[in-house]
Amino acid sequence: MDRQPPVPLDDETARFLASGESITLGSRDVRCVPSLIKAAGCRVDAALRRVRVFVDRRQARQLLADIAATRAVALVVSRPSTHHTLQVKGNDAVVEPLRDGDAEVAAAHRLAFARELVPLGYRRDWTLAIHEFPVEELVAVAFTVDATYAQTPGPGAGARLEAPR
């Protein structure tokens, strides 16, 4: 089977993925049994083709094992206040140590997530507590974007988004 070329993201999609919304990363084992984890942040490379998602390796043991076995990932980013949701998929995922600036991105994501949830009635201390990740336990899952899908509830949910021209 021929591998499709990487699908670039547009600037708006890249900003949304990295904006501090609710981030979930999933994979599957060789039997297609899913695994998933809440993520601590996300970065998109300058070429808009590769994504790095930060997860707590202690909480993500099964997910990381599944990535090692299949290299398949699905990243879901959702804005709780509007339910605007995107899904990004890749098939070449690898686990990497954090790079310069990644810990700061994770810290900023935690604060942005709290800013999103507090107006919805959640307590700030609770929102910060559920996204508290020890930096020394964070790793990055990096992958090339193969496809992006609209997942906002409604008539367009599930539609594949076209790559920018």
Beta strands in 113-152 (DSSP E): 138-144, 147-150
* pLDDT value, residue 48: 73
* pLDDT value, residue 117: 93
Please provide the distance, in angstroms rounded to a whole number, between the alpha carbons at the two ends of the chain: 25
Confidence of residue 3 (pLDDT cuts 50, 70, 90): low
92, pLDDT greater than 60: yes
* pLDDT value, residue 90: 96
Segment 58-82 shows an average pLDDT of 96
pLDDT in tens, 108-135: 999 999 999 999 999 999 999 988 899 9
SS3 165: coil
Please give the CATH superfamily to which domain 11-151 belongs.
Electron Transport, Fmn-binding Protein; Chain A (2.30.110.10)
Question: For residues 51 and 153, what is the distance between their CA atoms, to the nearest angstrom?
Answer: 24
* pLDDT value, residue 1: 44
Segment 125-147 shows an average pLDDT of 93
